[in-house]
Chains A and B, each alone.
Chain A
Amino acid sequence: MKRRDFVKKTAALAAGSVVLPYILPSGSLFAQSNAPLAEHVVYVLFGGGLRQQDSILQRYLSDSQNFNVAGNILYNMLEGAPPASKIAYGTTPSGQPDGIQPIPKILSQTLQKQGTIFAEMRAISGGHYGGLNSLITGSRVEGQGLKVRPVNPTVFEYARRFGGYRATDTWFIGNTIGNSVPLLNSSKHPDFGLTYGANFFAPNVTFGSDGYAALSNAKIYHPQEELEPMYKMKNFLDNSFNIKKGDMPGIRNTDDERTKIKEFIASTFQRQAAGQLPMPPVSGGDGSTIGYAAEVLRVFKPKLLVVNMSNIDGCHGNFTGYLQAMHRADHALGFLWNYIQSIPEMSGKTIMCFVPECGRNLQHNPIIDQNDWYGYDHGDANSLRVFGGMVGPNVQSNLMVGSESNPIGVVTDFNLTIAEILGYKSDVQSAGFIDPNAKSLFDRI
Chain B
Amino acid sequence: MRIFKFLLISCFLFSFVQCKKDRNTRYEIVETPSYGDNLNKDKDKTNIEFHSILSTNLFQKPSSINELTRTDRVIQSCGDKTLINEVIISNYMNSSQVILPSRKRMVDSTERFVEETYVRFFIRRPTEAEKTWFINFINANKSNPSFRPELVYTAFSASDEYMFY
Spell out A's residues near B (CB within 8 Å): 167, 172, 174, 177, 182, 185-186, 197-203, 205-206, 210-211, 213-219, 221-222, 225-226, 229-234, 236-238, 240-241, 243, 247, 249-253, 258, 261-262, 265
Q: A372 to B74: give the CA distance in the assembly, Å.
A: 39
Are A222 and B146 in contact, CB atoms less than 8 angstroms apart? yes
Looking at B8-16, B17-25, B86-94, B105-113, the stretch in contact with chain A turns out to be B86-94
Are A214 and B91 in contact, CB atoms less than 8 angstroms apart? yes
Are A243 and B141 also in contact (CB < 8 A) when A199-B79, A219-B90 are? Answer: no
Closest chain-A Cβ to B124's Cβ sits at a distance in Å of 11
Interface of B is mostly: helix
Closest chain-A Cβ to B135's Cβ sits at a distance in Å of 12
Interface centre among B79, B83, B154 (most CB of A within 10 A): B79
Are A205 and B80 also in contact (CB < 8 A) when A233-B155, A237-B156 are? Answer: no
Chain B residues near A219: list those with CB within 8 A.
90-91, 93-94
Are A200 and B78 also in contact (CB < 8 A) when A230-B154, A249-B163 are? Answer: yes
Are B161 and A215 in contact, CB atoms less than 8 angstroms apart? no
Spell out B's residues near A (CB within 8 Å): 38, 41-42, 44, 70-71, 73-74, 76-84, 86-88, 90-91, 93-95, 130, 133-134, 137, 141, 144, 146-147, 151-152, 154-156, 158-161, 163-164
Closest chain-B Cβ to A238's Cβ sits at a distance in Å of 5
Chain B residues near A167: list those with CB within 8 A.
80
Q: A79 to B95: give the CA distance in the assembly, Å.
A: 55
Are A182 and B74 also in contact (CB < 8 A) when A230-B154, A240-B38, A258-B86 are? Answer: no
Are A232 and B137 also in contact (CB < 8 A) when A237-B155, A240-B130, A243-B160 are? Answer: yes
Q: A234 to B85: give the CA distance in the assembly, Å.
A: 13
Are A185 and B79 in contact, CB atoms less than 8 angstroms apart? yes
Partner of B161, one of A185, A203, A241, A250: A241
Q: A206 to B84: give the CA distance in the assembly, Å.
A: 10
Q: A169 to B95: give the CA distance in the assembly, Å.
A: 34
Partner of B71, one of A214, A221, A222, A230: A214
Q: A206 to B80: give the CA distance in the assembly, Å.
A: 12
Are B155 and A214 in contact, CB atoms less than 8 angstroms apart? no
Chain B residues near A241: list those with CB within 8 A.
38, 41, 159-161, 164
Interface centre among A202, A214, A232, A238 (most CB of B within 10 A): A214
Chain B residues near A182: list those with CB within 8 A.
76-77, 79
Are A202 and B83 also in contact (CB < 8 A) when A238-B160, A249-B163 are? Answer: no
Chain B residues near A197: list those with CB within 8 A.
79
Are B160 and A205 in contact, CB atoms less than 8 angstroms apart? no
Are A205 and B83 in contact, CB atoms less than 8 angstroms apart? no
Are B154 and A265 in contact, CB atoms less than 8 angstroms apart? no
Are A217 and B144 also in contact (CB < 8 A) when A201-B79, A206-B78, A262-B87 are? Answer: no
Chain B residues near A202: list those with CB within 8 A.
76-77
Are B155 and A230 in contact, CB atoms less than 8 angstroms apart? yes
Q: A339 to B158: give the CA distance in the assembly, Å.
A: 36
Closest chain-A Cβ to B131's Cβ sits at a distance in Å of 12
Identify the closest chain B residue to A200 (Cβ): B79
Please give me the 4 A-B residue pairs with the lowest Cβ-Cβ distance, nearest first. A200-B79, A250-B81, A233-B155, A205-B77
Q: A335 to B38: give the CA distance in the assembly, Å.
A: 51
* Sample of 13 more A-B contacts, CB < 8 Å, known A182-B79, A226-B151, A233-B152: A200-B79, A201-B79, A206-B74, A210-B74, A214-B70, A215-B74, A215-B91, A219-B91, A219-B94, A232-B137, A234-B155, A247-B42, A262-B86
Are A221 and B90 in contact, CB atoms less than 8 angstroms apart? yes
Closest chain-A Cβ to B152's Cβ sits at a distance in Å of 6
Partner of B80, one of A199, A211, A234: A199
Q: A218 to B83: give the CA distance in the assembly, Å.
A: 12
Interchain residue pairs with CB less than 8 A apart (30): A182-B76, A200-B77, A200-B78, A202-B76, A205-B73, A206-B77, A215-B84, A215-B88, A218-B87, A221-B90, A225-B144, A225-B147, A229-B144, A232-B137, A233-B151, A233-B152, A234-B158, A234-B159, A236-B134, A237-B161, A238-B160, A240-B38, A240-B130, A241-B159, A241-B161, A247-B44, A252-B82, A253-B80, A262-B86, A262-B87
Chain A residues near B80: list those with CB within 8 A.
167, 199, 250-253, 258, 261
